[in-house]
């Protein structure tokens, strides 16, 4: 069975607020639609992914770029958009899963249940039995009780054999609200498979909060610390957190001796459980002599990315009497944030003296301590 997934993202729904369609609003750092796209793109049974956009969105940068996805312009109605997606499916495809871009929490288990049902049926879709009591009523009062027996809440992805669904869409009125309705209008049977309470459809601002909470439960968060010291020697400047500061002496080291950047870099390696700067860039290797420390930081960031992590925040404290750090704090944050690809507000650089105690107090060197948090995307 060869299967294509069609993500329908052509709606204009803005009930969730934010001024742009809900599927493009940011949830946990990415557009809502990115989650379902990534889920279907990574599913081993799905060989083709099609994203149906509203024609007005085609030229925008609102939608997430997924290298595997074929991009198609939708139509005036939901049914017309699905038809456009179905027409873009390759000839080799036998079954299609049609999914709402506003359901970011679809699980492989739900997808697998629909696929399993399609082995023996023309159509299958996930749903949950209604458990709440259903009332009929006007705005003010309950006027009756609706029997909930046999009622279900429909979800997506809705799966079908491709040929019968294409025929059903060709005969459709265009007014149906989902593909099960299109299929049923054409006389096709649709099996119900178990849905998932977490497979929510984002409609309101409250749904965003609920989705964020559900995602938070599955988050992989790593924290790492770094500590570094460099001694003072002859010179007229120091490098601290990527900024060159005039000073009466310089920090000594194999590289540019940027003690702050080294502490942050080691914190990233620490969060990943991947050693430290000395292991990745041995001081015995002459090629790193005088090296700019951003090389080390960029290596650690690339390593984090390759393991699927993004930097959530970094906090670095420099311990010294002089030079004064305050005037350079904003520039240091901006430089470090640029290397990390995050906004400055996620980076902290602060300083303290050691009350003239110890080696930092005697101005023999500068120490730095850093904490970094990584979040798996």
- The residue whose Cβ lies closest to Mg ion is 262
Q: Tell me the closest approach of the beta carbon of residue 326 to Mg ion, in angstroms.
A: 23
DSSP of 263-292, one letter per residue?
A: HHHHHHHHHHT---HHHHS-TT-GGGTT--
Window contacting Mg ion (CB under 5 A); options: 9-17, 103-111, 260-268, 305-313: 260-268
The residue within the footprint of Mg ion, chosen from 43, 249, 262, 294 (CB under 5 A), is 262
Told to check if 113 binds Mg ion by CB under 5 A, we report no
Q: Considering the complex, state which of residue 100 and residue 228 has its C-beta at the smaller distance from Mg ion.
A: 228
Residue 160 vs 269, nearer CB to Mg ion: 269
Taking the least distance from each CB to Mg ion, the nearer of 227 and 322 is 227
Stretch that binds Mg ion, among 74-82, 207-215, 235-243, 255-263 (CB under 5 A): 255-263
Reference 77, options 167, 179, 201; nearest CA is 179
Cβ atoms 203, 16 nearer than 8 A? yes
User: Least distance to Mg ion from the beta carbon of 54, Å?
Assistant: 52
Per the CB < 8 A criterion, the answer to whether 64 and 37 are in contact is yes
Min separation Cβ 370 and Mg ion, Å: 12
Contact 266, 226 (CB under 8 A): yes
Residues 145, 83: Cα–Cα separation, whole Å:
38
Q: Is the dihedral of CA 53, 27, 312, 219 positive or negative?
A: negative
| Interface mask toward Mg ion for 272-311; x: CB under 5 A | ----------------------------------------
Nearest to 242 by CA among 254, 259, 225: 259
Residue 249 near Mg ion by CB under 5 A: no
Shortest Å, Cβ 297 to Mg ion: 12
Mark the segment that binds Mg ion (CB under 5 A) among 11-19, 119-127, 221-229, 304-312.
221-229
Q: For residue 353, give Cα distances in angstroms to 95, 322, 357.
A: 67, 8, 9
CA–CA distance, 335 with 330 (Å, rounded to integer): 9
Minimal distance in Å, beta carbon 229 to Mg ion?
A: 7
Cβ neighbours of residue 294 closer than 8 Å, sequence gap 6 or more? 242, 261, 339
Q: Give the residue, chosen from 179, 207, 228, 276, that forms a contact with Mg ion under the rule CB under 5 A.
A: 228
DSSP-derived letter for residue 344 is G
Torsion angle of the four alpha carbons 33, 223, 347, 229, in this order, in degrees rounded to the nearest 10: -150
Q: Which of 216, 291, 217 is nearest to 29 (CA)?
A: 216
Among the candidate windows 20-28, 182-190, 202-210, 256-264, which touches Mg ion by CB under 5 A?
A: 256-264
Query: With CB under 5 A as the contact rule, which of the stretches 14-22, 80-88, 222-230, 369-377 interacts with Mg ion?
Result: 222-230
Nearer to Mg ion, 160 or 296 (CB): 296
Binding site for Mg ion (CB under 5 A): 228, 262
């Amino acid at each position: 069975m060869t299967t294509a997934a069609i993500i329908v993202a052509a709606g204009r729904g803005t009930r969730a607020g934010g001024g742009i369609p809900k599927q493009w609003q940011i949830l946990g750092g990415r557009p809502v639609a990115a989650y379902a796209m990534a889920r279907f793109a990574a599913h081993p049974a799905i060989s083709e992914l099609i994203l149906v956009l509203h024609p007005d969105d085609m030229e925008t940068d609102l939608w997430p770029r997924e290298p595997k996805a074929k991009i198609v312009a939708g139509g005036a109605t939901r049914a017309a958009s699905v038809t456009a997606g179905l027409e873009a499916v390759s000839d080799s495809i036998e079954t299609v899963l049609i999914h709402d871009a506003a359901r970011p929490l679809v699980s492989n288990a739900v997808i697998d249940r629909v696929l399993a049902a399609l082995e023996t049926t023309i159509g299958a879709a996930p749903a949950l039995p209604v458990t709440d009591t259903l009332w009929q009523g006007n705005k003010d009062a309950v006027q009756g009780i609706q029997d909930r027996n046999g009622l279900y809440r429909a979800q997506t992805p809705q799966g079908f054999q491709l040929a019968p669904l294409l025929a059903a869409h060709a005969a459709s009125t265009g007014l149906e609200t989902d593909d099960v309705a299109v299929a049923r209008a054409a006389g096709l049977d649709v099996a119900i498979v178990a849905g998932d309470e977490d497979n929510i459809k984002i409609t309101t601002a409250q749904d965003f909060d609920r989705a964020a909470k559900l995602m938070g439960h599955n988050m992989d968060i790593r924290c790492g610390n770094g500590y570094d010291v460099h001694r003072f020697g002859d010179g007229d400047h120091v490098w601290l957190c990527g900024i060159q500061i005039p000073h009466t002496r310089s920090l000594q080291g194999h590289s540019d001796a940027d003690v702050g950047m080294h502490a942050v870099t080691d914190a990233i390696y620490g969060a990943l459980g991947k050693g430290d700067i000395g292991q990745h860039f041995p001081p015995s290797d002459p090629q790193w002599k005088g090296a700019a420390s951003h090389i080390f930081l960029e290596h650690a960031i690339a390593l984090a990315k390759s393991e699927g992590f993004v930097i959530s925040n970094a906090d670095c404290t420099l311990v010294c009497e002089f030079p004064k750090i305050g005037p350079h704090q904003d520039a240091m944050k901006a430089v470090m944030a640029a290397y990390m690809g995050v906004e400055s507000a996620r980076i902290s650089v602060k300083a303290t003296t050691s009350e003239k105690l110890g080696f930092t107090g005697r101005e023999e060197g500068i120490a730095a301590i850093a904490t970094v948090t990584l979040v798996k995307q």
